[in-house]
Amino acid sequence: MTIGETILNKYRNIKISEIKDNPVEEVKSIGKYAEIVFPIVYALEYWGPNNNGDAFPYEELLKTYTTFLNGAVYLQHNIDDRIGDVINVYMDKQMKRVLVKVRVYLDKLPEEVLDKILQKRSIGSSMGCAAAYDVCSICGHISYNWLDKCKHIKSELLSINKETGKLVYMINYSPNFFDVSIVALPGDLRAYSILQKLENENNYYHPLFNFEEPEVRTYKRNLNKKQINKILKQKEDIQSINKISTDVFTFLKEETTTIPIEILNKYKDNPGDFLATCIALGIKLNNKDLNILFSGKDIYIGDYKEEIANEINTFVKEC
């Protein structure tokens, strides 16, 4: 496999959705879109935090839930892969949760999602938002960016703090909701669809929910060169979530295998290019790696470098 093939391996081998047999006739029979209702956010006081360690007080949701109407529907938080529109949002005051009604266009869905809709199976969702700030549930530390978190959030998120016996999570204030994504495996397992219908169906139905682990953990799309370059060449400081692609921010928060410290130290003088190359190769750096690489500097996305890719690929093959 060439270096170029390795770079794009994260984005390839995924087919754009196709309807089998006679696609023209089948599209006519089912319509061009599906409408889906997701329970997208749950109030902290009644449901606790989600699986990403984020929590939203009920009063904050009451003030901000309508910001979903300014957002759109994406595939796997990829803001370059818009697949539908948010057409309404509701505050379920009895269940203390926010419901969004979305319209997704069938010709933009990957095959796995389309199959689930046609089989009347539940679809996973995930929200994206930019909060003005968040507060640590243990020490009350106020944080305005990902680099400014306290020790509890950085090292104990979603675990029980030994000193207080309380769960560690982030309480978000003034969230601006801009993203409703269809995902293969939601961070919040309560966010599966509860109502669905195709364009040519008169009534909504309750989709079947399967408790088994999904066969596909991430829906992927074949990105074009312009979209990949947009991800790799972002220069904004990630201290502002509003200035960086959701793709990259989600990428940075995920766990991965630690890169050897000798390689990290080698590229400390040019960490942005190392980070961009890792992103292109599909290698996710954890917080420890990022701290070694940037050590006091602002985190930024540089340019893909083939010589760095060669060194990383050598390490991966040895593992």
* CA–CA distance, 273 with 120 (Å, rounded to integer): 45
| Residue 38 in tokens | 């997701």
pLDDT at position 225, please? 54
60, HSE (Cβ side, Cα atoms, 13 Å)? 20
Lowest mean pLDDT among 3-7, 102-106, 160-164, 209-213: 3-7
Q: By C-alpha distance, which of 135, 200, 207 is closest to 171?
A: 135
Residue 268 has pLDDT above 60, yes or no: yes
Residue 98 has pLDDT above 90, yes or no: yes
Q: By C-alpha distance, which of 319, 314, 245, 255 is closest to 276?
A: 245
Domain boundaries, the chain: 3-10+222-318, 23-132+174-198
Question: pLDDT, tens digit, for every residue of 119-160?
Answer: 999 999 999 999 999 999 999 999 988 778 999 999 999 999
* CA–CA distance, 314 with 318 (Å, rounded to integer): 6
Instruction: Count CB-CB contacts under 10 A for residue 203.
Output: 6
Residue 40 has pLDDT above 50, yes or no: yes
Residue 90 has pLDDT above 80, yes or no: yes
CB 151 within 8 A of CB 291: no
Q: Mutual orientation of helices 225-232 and 271-281 as an angle, nearest 10°?
A: 140
Helices (H) and strands (E) in the chain, counts: 12, 11
* CA–CA distance, 103 with 85 (Å, rounded to integer): 5
pLDDT at position 241, please? 38
CATH level 2 (architecture), domain 23-132+174-198 = Alpha-Beta Barrel (3.20)
Mean pLDDT of 50-73: 95
pLDDT at position 215, please? 65
pLDDT at position 51, please? 86
pTM score: 0.64
pLDDT band at 284 (very low <50, low <70, confident <90, very high): low
* CA–CA distance, 91 with 171 (Å, rounded to integer): 19
| Residue 40 in tokens | 């997208």
